[in-house]
């Protein structure tokens, strides 16, 4: 079959990106498939193209509403209008409309918690599903950095739906996560297509500093002398706001972005970043999924993320156009403790679990039991899930293991910042990979993380000037 | 525009009759019987539900600035507006919100307008493919319909809409600042909208104040675009305001209760059918009474009691329930509230 021809006709591309063609061939054979492709390497084409070629509905399970909406938007943008998304934000009426029109839909996006509702399951399993896509499939594994308990219920759905071909997509999965994906999604002999995580055009730098204040000073200097577009990842909304204000005072065009921002402002900021009206975004990890900006030249972390997988994903948002991009991680000694606290917060300890179980036994609701036991919302969902399948003793064992594992993940990050050997090799080793070739602009340990190419003495952004309203209308429309 | 000024306006209307919390409920648009009745009584409907997410601390801060300025005081749950406060309230410009009729739906109108402007701007630059500013399918479909009807009739829609917007904003009588804020929240090719912080920085007004200016401006623009002659003078805006004004001021839940009530079911039975508390159903009934001139109040209170309570209210100019309850211990709070909600027209 000439897939290139299909690609050209339906999407207007001449070439597949690495890995895509193998994945598509596997799916067209109706084999279960796991595709591990780095961020920004066109994962969605892997189901869009075969979806167009096969009869039946492509059901895409997606963890975030924003991600879902974004994918729907980009499919519509290429002219495919037979697409819809179902999530808990829809009104009953909107949902009913989609169901009435389901025969006209080719791509249906749905959240994991929606799909496991009995009425929804009953409705969906009767449909002719051509491909069941599990996006961000690493979320199914508690070994992954972004565990979502709702994903664990997908296996049951797949069984009820009569085991349609399953395509699991993710950017990062080590051997354990891969094993979890296979087992929880009831996959039979899946084809695993793995593309190297090595991004030759990224240059890695670890920048050790003395104090938190030094980080701010360093960022000020860096942003004044080098070019964007860039992202600064910070650990909290508060830090995002503060840092943004400080950098704005230096004349840098930057906006903060986090889940606490008003929806209107969030889309405005994305747009300003896309058009280049602002050069920098200072964001929590809420920013990223579904941002289509190829020319990001720097991704700077104000604090280390909780795992190497998360770091690879976030830093990997730079340089999608294939041009060079700098990945910088700032580090002070205190960071280890701070991140450890954040990481362990969502995992209840033994007394908490026992308290929760006792409260549930005495007839309290999940919510109030969690509150009384001091367990976070995520934590309570995890406990609740395990309570259905495991004994209390086994749950406690599992949690001990999880805690240990999260600590391991964090140790990888800590080892990374202290690494005396090549940072790229260090990162890749966590995913059982080695670098394919020696790179000219590799990392700060190799001594080749030069950034003179980033230097810029461009005049900093002018102060924004409010227009007269009549003038503004004319600018927009005349 | 300051939150404290708006609170002062509301407090002045409720002077000596209600707590400050009653103003908070009005601003947040609380759907309790008490609040729904208050907005009617004290003629503060325009402020109803204009700040649904108003935080306790923000409210407290604004109130404390009024305290410090010696304009209001509160004791035993009753707000008193000082002479100074009354003078200040008189000096304030008349605010032109219409919270009662829009209740947050003005945002739907604005999203439609933003998407329409963005689309027209893109099309004008021959860019047919772009990332829409909102992913809300309902908004997208609505705007698509509007565009379809425009293409049939107007060759140069962008230009046409620009003229219409210029005219409409003049007709609203809003300030230049308000119009500027509104227009800078719009997005087009190489002219993205501005965030609130960016607007704050270049106007020198706080985000909170700008958002109030924006809200009032939006309410004015919708009102102007709704009018009957707007169909001719502002045809596109007239399309954009479709179904924004709420048709029945009843809340959804109350509307269901009303159906059962109209079938003649007594309150306790409605409560059982709906699996709600009797108190809640009573709140609904009060809401229905407030909005229905022909409410069959005789199902709940005798004619004599009605007249007696009305007389008392008129004589002492008192609307406090507790006071009335002392005078008429045989009537329930629910009955008293019903009498008050059905008689305000006759009292004035």
H, E, C per residue of A43-83: CCHHHHHHHHHCCCEEEEECCCHHHHHHHHHHHHHCCCCCE
Report how far apart, in Å, the C-alpha atoms of A312 and of each of A261, A326, B218 are. Answer: 26, 13, 45
Task: Return the closest-CA partner of residue B220 out of B54, B13, B26, B46.
Answer: B46
Domain-ending residue, one of A171, A194, A217: A194
B83: exposed, middle or buried (C-beta count within 10 Å: 0-12, 13-18, 19+)? exposed
Please check whether residue B310 is in contact with residue B297, taking contact to mean a CB–CB distance below 8 angstroms. no
Average pLDDT over residues A458-473: 80
β-bridge partners, A300 = A232, A328
Instruction: Look at B159 and A478 and tell me if their CB atoms are within 8 Å.
Output: yes
Can you give the pLDDT at residue B340?
82
Report residue B337's pLDDT band, with 50, 70 and 90 as the boundaries: confident
**Among the residues of A102-166, which ranges form H helices?**
112-115, 118-124, 154-160
Share of chain A above pLDDT 70, in %: 97
B79: exposed, middle or buried (C-beta count within 10 Å: 0-12, 13-18, 19+)? buried
Q: Could you read off the pLDDT of A311-352 as tens digits, one per residue? A: 998 999 999 888 999 999 999 999 999 888 887 777 788 888
Residues of chain A found within 8 Å of residue B191, distances taken between Cβ atoms? 472, 475-476
Structural tokens at position A97: 């409309």
Kindly provide the residue ranges of all beta strands, DSSP E only, lying in A230-366, ordered along the sequence.
230-233, 254-257, 280-283, 298-301, 325-331
**Among the residues of B80-195, which ranges form H helices?**
83-91, 99-102, 106-124, 137-153, 157-172, 176-184
Residue B342 CA to residue B291 CA, distance in Å, equals: 9
Task: Return the closest-CA partner of residue A443 out of A357, A313, A324, A333.
Answer: A324
- Does residue A473 sit within a domain? no
Report residue B196's pLDDT band, with 50, 70 and 90 as the boundaries: very high
Of A255, A265, A472, Cβ closest to residue B183:
A472
Can you give the pLDDT at residue A40?
65
Instruction: Look at B187 and A264 and tell me if their CB atoms are within 8 Å.
Output: no
Instruction: Look at B166 and A275 and tell me if their CB atoms are within 8 Å.
Output: no
Q: Residue B42: helix, strand or coil by DSSP?
A: coil
Residue B230 CA to residue B228 CA, distance in Å, equals: 5
In this predicted structure, the answer to whether residue A397 has a pLDDT above a threshold of 90 is no
Task: Return the closest-CA partner of residue B177 out of B134, B209, B142.
Answer: B209
Helices A377-389 and A392-418 cross at an angle (nearest 10°) of 130
Instruction: Look at A271 and B187 and tell me if their CB atoms are within 8 Å.
Output: yes
Of A84, A265, A473, Cβ closest to residue B196:
A265
One domain for residues A102 and A234: no
Phi first, then psi: what are they for B205, rounded to 5°?
-95, 150
First vs last Cα of chain A: how many Å apart? 50
Residue B313 CA, distance from chain mean position: 27
- Does residue A241 sit within a domain? yes
Residue A182 CA to residue A120 CA, distance in Å, equals: 24
Cis amide leading into A229 (omega within 30):
yes
Q: Residue A348: helix, strand or coil by DSSP?
A: coil
- Best of B129, B131, B143, B173 to mutate (most A CBs within 10 Å, chain A): B131
One domain for residues A233 and A348: yes
β-bridge partners, A465 = none
- Best of B193, B200, B207, B252 to mutate (most A CBs within 10 Å, chain A): B193
Of B124, B176, B192, Cβ closest to residue A268:
B192
Can you give the pLDDT at residue B348?
34
Is any Cβ of chain A less than 8 angstroms from the Cβ of B132? yes
Instruction: Look at B195 and A77 and tell me if their CB atoms are within 8 Å.
Output: no
Give the residue carrying structure tokens 């990374």. A416
In this predicted structure, the answer to whether residue B179 has a pLDDT above a threshold of 70 is yes
- Best of B51, B109, B112, B197 to mutate (most A CBs within 10 Å, chain A): B197
Task: Return the closest-CA partner of residue B223 out of B50, B47, B98.
Answer: B98
- Best of A466, A467, A468, A474 to mutate (most B CBs within 10 Å, chain B): A466
Least confident of A276-285, A437-446, B9-18: A437-446
Residues of chain A found within 8 Å of residue B172, distances taken between Cβ atoms? none
Instruction: Look at A475 and B188 and tell me if their CB atoms are within 8 Å.
Output: yes
One domain for residues A189 and A271: no
One domain for residues A190 and A208: no
Can you give the pLDDT at residue B152?
72
One domain for residues A349 and A284: yes
Residues of chain A found within 8 Å of residue B131, distances taken between Cβ atoms? 73, 77, 271, 274, 292
Instruction: Look at A469 and B120 and tell me if their CB atoms are within 8 Å.
Output: no
Phi first, then psi: what are they for A312, rounded to 5°?
-60, -40
Is any Cβ of chain A less than 8 angstroms from the Cβ of B121? yes
- Does residue A81 sit within a domain? yes
- Does residue A478 sit within a domain? no
Structural tokens at position B250: 């009843």
Residues of chain B found within 8 Å of residue A475, distances taken between Cβ atoms? 188, 191
Task: Return the closest-CA partner of residue B193 out of A233, A274, A71.
Answer: A274
Can you give the pLDDT at residue A344?
78
One domain for residues A97 and A245: no
Closest CA in chain B for residue A79: B129
Residue B185 CA to residue A236 CA, distance in Å, equals: 27
Domain-ending residue, one of A194, A223, A242: A194
Instruction: Please tell me whether the interface predicted TM-score (ipTM) of this complex is above 0.90.
Output: no
Considering only CA atoms, give the Rg of chain A. Answer: 23
In this predicted structure, the answer to whether residue A50 has a pLDDT above a threshold of 80 is yes
A356 vs B293, more confident = A356
Average pLDDT over residues B80-91: 94
Closest CA in chain B for residue A86: B137
β-bridge partners, A60 = A109, A133
Can you give the pLDDT at residue B186?
97
Task: Return the closest-CA partner of residue B243 out of B114, B139, B116.
Answer: B139
Residue B177 CA, distance from chain mean position: 22
Report residue A413's pLDDT band, with 50, 70 and 90 as the boundaries: very high
> What domains can you pick out in chain B, each with its CATH number?
3-101 (1.10.10.10), 106-240 (no CATH), 252-347 (1.10.10)
Closest CA in chain B for residue A93: B138
Of B120, B130, B169, Cβ closest to residue A477:
B120
Residue B224 CA to residue B179 CA, distance in Å, equals: 14
Of A271, A463, A466, Cβ closest to residue B133:
A271
- How many Cα atoms within 13 Å fall on the side-chain side of residue A389? 8
A32 vs A76, more confident = A32
Report how far apart, in Å, the C-alpha atoms of A164 and of each of A104, A177, B59, B186, B319 are. Answer: 20, 22, 55, 45, 67
Q: Could you read off the pLDDT of B115-142 as tens digits, one per residue? A: 999 999 998 888 777 888 988 888 998 9
Structural tokens at position A46: 């892997």
A43 vs B217, more confident = B217
Of A69, A94, A465, Cβ closest to residue B202:
A465
Closest CA in chain A for residue B130: A77
Kindly provide the residue ranges of all beta strands, DSSP E only, lying in A106-174, ordered along the sequence.
107-110, 129-134, 166-170
Instruction: Look at B183 and A268 and tell me if their CB atoms are within 8 Å.
Output: no
- Does residue A42 sit within a domain? yes
In this predicted structure, the answer to whether residue B155 has a pLDDT above a threshold of 80 is no
- Best of A72, A260, A268 to mutate (most B CBs within 10 Å, chain B): A268
Residue A366 CA to residue A388 CA, distance in Å, equals: 13
Structural tokens at position A190: 């899946």
Long-range contacts of A371-377, Cβ-Cβ distance < 8 Å, separation of 24 or more: A373/A348, A374/A348, A375/A348, A376/A345, A376/A346, A376/A348
Instruction: Look at B193 and A474 and tell me if their CB atoms are within 8 Å.
Output: no
One domain for residues A179 and A217: no
Residue A296 CA, distance from chain mean position: 17
Can you give the pLDDT at residue A294?
87
One domain for residues A241 and A215: yes
Report residue A143's pLDDT band, with 50, 70 and 90 as the boundaries: low
Task: Return the closest-CA partner of residue A445 out of A201, A203, A202.
Answer: A203
- Does residue A471 sit within a domain? no
One domain for residues A26 and A60: yes
- Best of A77, A265, A283, A473 to mutate (most B CBs within 10 Å, chain B): A473
Least confident of A57-61, A463-467, B256-260, B276-280: A463-467
Please check whether residue A63 is in contact with residue A111, taking contact to mean a CB–CB distance below 8 angstroms. yes
Residues of chain B found within 8 Å of residue A468, distances taken between Cβ atoms? 176, 180
In this predicted structure, the answer to whether residue B181 has a pLDDT above a threshold of 90 is yes
Report how far apart, in Å, the C-alpha atoms of B70 and of each of B11, B21, B77 are. Answer: 13, 18, 17
If contacts are CB pairs under 8 Å, which of residues 192-211 in chain B contact chain A? Answer: 192-199, 201-203
Is any Cβ of chain A less than 8 angstroms from the Cβ of B129? yes
One domain for residues A440 and A314: yes
CATH number of the domain bearing residue A412: 3.40.50.300
Q: Average pLDDT, whole number, for chain A? A: 89
Strand ordering across the sheet containing A83-86: A83-86, A107-110, A57-61, A129-134, A166-170, A33-36, A191-194
Average pLDDT over residues A18-42: 89
Instruction: Look at A478 and B162 and tell me if their CB atoms are within 8 Å.
Output: yes
Average pLDDT over residues B97-113: 94
In angstroms, the separation between the Cα of residue A271 and the nearest Cα of chain B is: 6
In angstroms, the separation between the Cα of residue B183 and the nearest Cα of chain A is: 6
User: Chain A residues within 8 A (CB-CB) of chain B?
Assistant: 69-70, 72-73, 77-78, 84, 94, 248, 255, 262, 264-265, 267-269, 271-272, 274-275, 277, 292, 463-470, 472-478
Structural tokens at position A226: 């080098």
In this predicted structure, the answer to whether residue B345 has a pLDDT above a threshold of 70 is no
Dihedral angle, C-alpha B132, B133, B137, B142, nearest 10 ° = -90
Report residue A371's pLDDT band, with 50, 70 and 90 as the boundaries: confident
Instruction: Look at A77 and B131 and tell me if their CB atoms are within 8 Å.
Output: yes
Q: Could you read off the pLDDT of B278-315 as tens digits, one per residue? A: 988 998 898 888 777 788 888 899 889 988 988 888 88
Please check whether residue A302 is in contact with residue A233, taking contact to mean a CB–CB distance below 8 angstroms. yes
Sign of CA dihedral A139, A145, A146, A149: positive
In this predicted structure, the answer to whether residue B320 has a pLDDT above a threshold of 80 is no
- Does residue A153 sit within a domain? yes
Can you give the pLDDT at residue A290?
63
Instruction: Look at A477 and B188 and tell me if their CB atoms are within 8 Å.
Output: yes
One domain for residues A187 and A233: no
In this predicted structure, the answer to whether residue A145 has a pLDDT above a threshold of 60 is no
Domain-ending residue, one of A138, A172, A194: A194
Q: Please tell me the total count of domains within chain A.
A: 2
One domain for residues A123 and A243: no
- Does residue A15 sit within a domain? yes
Residues of the domain holding A106: 3-194
In this predicted structure, the answer to whether residue B347 has a pLDDT above a threshold of 50 is no
Residue A131 CA to residue A166 CA, distance in Å, equals: 6
Is any Cβ of chain A less than 8 angstroms from the Cβ of B179? yes
Closest CA in chain A for residue B159: A478
Report residue A144's pLDDT band, with 50, 70 and 90 as the boundaries: low
Helices B33-41 and B333-347 cross at an angle (nearest 10°) of 20
């Amino acid at each position: 079959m000439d897939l290139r021809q299909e690609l050209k006709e339906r999407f207007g591309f001449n070439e597949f990106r690495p890995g895509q063609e193998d994945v598509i061939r596997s799916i067209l054979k109706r084999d279960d498939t796991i595709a591990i492709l780095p961020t920004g390497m066109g994962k969605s084409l892997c189901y869009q193209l075969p979806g167009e070629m096969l009869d039946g509905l492509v059901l895409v399970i997606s963890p975030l509403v924003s991600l879902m909406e974004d994918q729907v938007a980009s499919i519509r943008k290429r002219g495919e209008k037979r697409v819809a998304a179902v999530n808990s934000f829809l009104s009953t009426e909107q949902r009913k409309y989609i169901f009435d029109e389901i025969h006209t839909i080719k791509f249906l996006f749905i959240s994991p918690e929606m799909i496991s509702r009995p009425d929804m399951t009953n409705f969906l399993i009767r449909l002719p599903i051509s491909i069941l896509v599990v996006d961000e499939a690493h979320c199914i594994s508690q070994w992954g950095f972004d565990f979502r308990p709702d994903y664990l219920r997908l296996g049951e759905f797949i069984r009820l739906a009569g085991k349609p071909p399953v395509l699991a997509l993710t950017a990062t999965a080590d051997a354990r996560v891969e094993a979890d994906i296979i087992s929880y999604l009831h996959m039979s002999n899946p084809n695993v297509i793995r593309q190297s995580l090595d991004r030759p055009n990224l240059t890695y730098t670890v920048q050790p500093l003395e104090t938190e204040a030094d980080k701010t000073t360093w960022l000020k200097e860096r942003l004044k002398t080098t070019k964007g577009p860039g992202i600064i990842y910070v650990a909290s909304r508060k830090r995002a706001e503060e840092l943004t204000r400080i950098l704005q005072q230096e004349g840098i065009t930057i906006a903060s972005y986090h889940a606490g921002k008003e929806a209107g402002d969030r889309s405005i900021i994305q747009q300003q970043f896309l058009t280049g009206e602002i050069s920098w975004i200072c964001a929590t990890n809420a920013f990223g999924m579904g941002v289509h900006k190829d020319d990001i030249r720097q991704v700077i972390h104000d604090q280390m993320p909780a795992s190497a997988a998360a770091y690879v994903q976030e830093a990997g948002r730079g340089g999608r156009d294939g041009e060079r991009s700098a990945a910088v991680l700032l580090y002070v000694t205190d960071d280890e403790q701070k991140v450890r606290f954040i990481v362990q917060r969502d995992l209840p300890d033994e007394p908490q679990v026992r308290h929760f179980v006792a409260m549930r036994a005495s007839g309290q609701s999940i919510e109030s039991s969690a509150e009384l036991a001091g367990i976070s919302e995520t934590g309570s969902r995890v406990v609740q899930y395990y309570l259905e399948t495991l004994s209390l003793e086994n749950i406690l064992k599992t949690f001990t293991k999880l805690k240990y594992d999260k600590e391991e993940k964090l140790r990888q990050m800590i080892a990374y910042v202290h690494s005396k050997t090549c940072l790229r090799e260090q990162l890749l080793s966590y995913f059982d990979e080695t670098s394919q070739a020696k790179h000219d602009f590799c990392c700060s340990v190799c001594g080749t993380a030069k950034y003179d190419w980033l230097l810029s003495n461009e005049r900093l952004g002018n102060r924004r000037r409010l227009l007269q309203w009549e003038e503004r209308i004319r600018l927009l429309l005349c | 525009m300051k939150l404290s000024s708006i609170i002062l306006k509301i407090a002045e209307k409720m002077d000596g009759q209600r707590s400050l919390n009653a103003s908070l409920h009005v601003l947040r648009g609380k759907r309790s019987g008490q609040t729904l009745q208050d907005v009617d009584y004290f003629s503060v409907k325009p402020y109803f539900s204009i700040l649904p997410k108003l935080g306790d601390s923000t409210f407290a801060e604004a109130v404390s600035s009024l305290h410090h300025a010696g304009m209001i005081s509160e004791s035993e749950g009753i707000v008193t507006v000082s002479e100074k406060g009354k003078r200040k309230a008189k000096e304030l410009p008349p605010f032109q919100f219409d919270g009662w009729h829009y209740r947050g739906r003005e945002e739907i109108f604005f999203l439609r307008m933003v998407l329409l402007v963005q689309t027209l701007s893109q099309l004008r630059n021959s860019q047919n493919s772009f990332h829409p500013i909102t992913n809300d399918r309902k908004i997208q479909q609505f705007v698509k319909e509007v565009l379809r009807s425009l293409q049939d009739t107007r060759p140069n829609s962008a230009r046409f809409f620009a003229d219409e917007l210029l005219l409409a904003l003049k007709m609203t009588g809003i300030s230049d600042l308000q119009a500027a804020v509104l227009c800078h929240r719009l997005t087009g090719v190489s002219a993205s909208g501005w965030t609130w912080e960016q607007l704050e920085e270049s106007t020198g007004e706080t985000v909170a104040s700008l958002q109030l200016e924006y809200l009032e401006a939006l309410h004015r623009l919708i009102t102007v675009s709704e009018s009957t002659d707007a169909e001719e003078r502002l045809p596109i805006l007239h399309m954009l305001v479709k179904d924004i004004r709420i048709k029945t001021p009843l809340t959804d839940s109350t509307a269901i209760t009303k159906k059962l009530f109209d079938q003649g079911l007594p309150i306790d039975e409605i409560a059982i059918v709906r699996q709600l508390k009797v108190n809640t159903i009573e709140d609904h009934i009060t809401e229905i009474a407030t909005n229905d001139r022909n409410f069959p109040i005789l199902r709940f209170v005798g004619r004599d009691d009605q007249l007696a309570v009305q007389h008392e209210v008129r004589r002492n100019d008192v609307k406090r329930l507790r006071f009335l309850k002392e005078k008429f211990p045989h009537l329930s709070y629910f009955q008293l509230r019903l009498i008050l909600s059905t008689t305000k027209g006759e009292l004035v």
